[in-house]
Amino acid sequence: MRQRKIQLALILPLLLSAYLTGCGTKQASDNLLSVSILPQKYFIDQLSGGALEVNVMVPPGSSHSTYSPTTKQFQKLSDSKLYIGVGNLGYEAAWLPRLGEINPEMKMLTLSDHTELISASSDHHKDDGHAHGVDPHIWMSPSVVKQLIPLIRDALIENFPQLKDTIEANYPHLMAIVEKADKEMRATTALVKTREFMIFHPALSYLARDYNLVQHEVEVEGKEPSPAYLASLIETAKSKSVSVIFIQEEYDIRNAETIAEEAGIALATINPMAYDWEETMAELNLTFQKYLNE
C-alpha cells in the first residue's frame, strides 16, 4: 500500500499537468458538481431530487486508498461548479492542492474540516492510504453525518440557487433519515452483549467512537498483517470474546478468513462505499444486532 500511495503522489500530478496543458482554464457547468465517494452522491440526490449531475471520483468497487481518477473524471471535475470532498483520503492528498488550477471558479467544501477527526497514527494505522495520519471514514457514523448534512445543503443552495426551493423542501426528509439511523444505532449498541469487533480495513472508527464500541483492525500500515500480528489478532478475538470480523468488498478476504476460522468467529461483509447510505446503515445495524449479541 505504501508503494501504491507513492505512485499515486507521482502519477496524479502528472496527469493533472497533462490535462491542464491540453485544456486550459475551464468554465463550470450549470448543474454539475464533483464528490469523492458514492455515499455523498446519495445525500446530494436526496437534497436535489436528482436534478444535479454528480461526478463521483471513486467508482463502485474501487478502494479510495488506491484508485487513480481517469482523464474523463478530471474533465468532469474541471467543469464542476462545486467540489465536495471527504478530505484525508489518500488519493485526495495527491491532487487536491492543484484543483484550483483545473477550475479557478470552482468552490470547495471539505467535510472533514467540520468535524472532530480521529488520528490514524497508532501502530496499526500508519501509512494506511489515508492522508496526514487521519482516519477519513466520517460518513460511516450517523452522529457525524448529522453535522455534515446542513453544510452540504448550504453549499448546494449557494452554488445552485435555482434549486433552493427543492433543496429546502427535501432537507427535512434527508435529516429524518439520518436521525433515524442515529437513533436506531444508539438503541442497538446500548443493548449489545459485546462491544468489540474486528475489521480488515478500519472503516468504522467514527461509528465505534460515537456509539461506544471497540474496533480491532487487521490492517497494519496499510499492508497485510505479519504472521505474528495475525496470531495476536486471533488471540485477541478469543480473549475479548469477539464474535465477528468485518471485511469490505474491495479487500482481499484471505486473512480475514484465517482469523475467523482460527478464532471460531463469524465473517461478515460490509460495504462502506455503497451508494445507498440509508440502506448501508440499516444493514450494519442489523449486523450488529446479530453478531454482537452472540
**What is the residue-level pLDDT of the chain in tens, covering all 294 positions?**
444 444 444 445 555 555 554 455 555 678 999 999 999 999 999 999 999 999 999 887 777 767 777 888 888 988 999 999 999 887 787 777 777 677 888 999 999 999 999 987 443 333 334 444 789 999 999 999 999 999 999 999 999 999 999 999 999 999 999 999 999 999 999 999 999 999 998 999 999 999 999 999 998 666 778 899 999 999 999 999 999 999 987 788 888 999 999 999 999 999 999 999 999 999 999 999 999 998
Residue 132 backbone class (left: φ over 0; alpha: ψ -120 to 50; beta: rest): left
- Residues 147 and 8 reside in one and the same domain: yes
Total structural domains within the chain: 2
- The whole-model pTM stands at 0.86
Domain range holding 221?
184-291
- Residues 93 and 22 reside in one and the same domain: yes
Cell of 162: 435555482
Burial label for 264, CB within 10 Å (0-12, 13-18, 19+), is exposed
φ/ψ of 164, rounded to 5, equals -55, -50
Domain closes at, from 150, 179, 208? 179
- Residues 272 and 152 reside in one and the same domain: no
Domain closes at, from 117, 151, 179? 179
Place of cell 486550459: 24
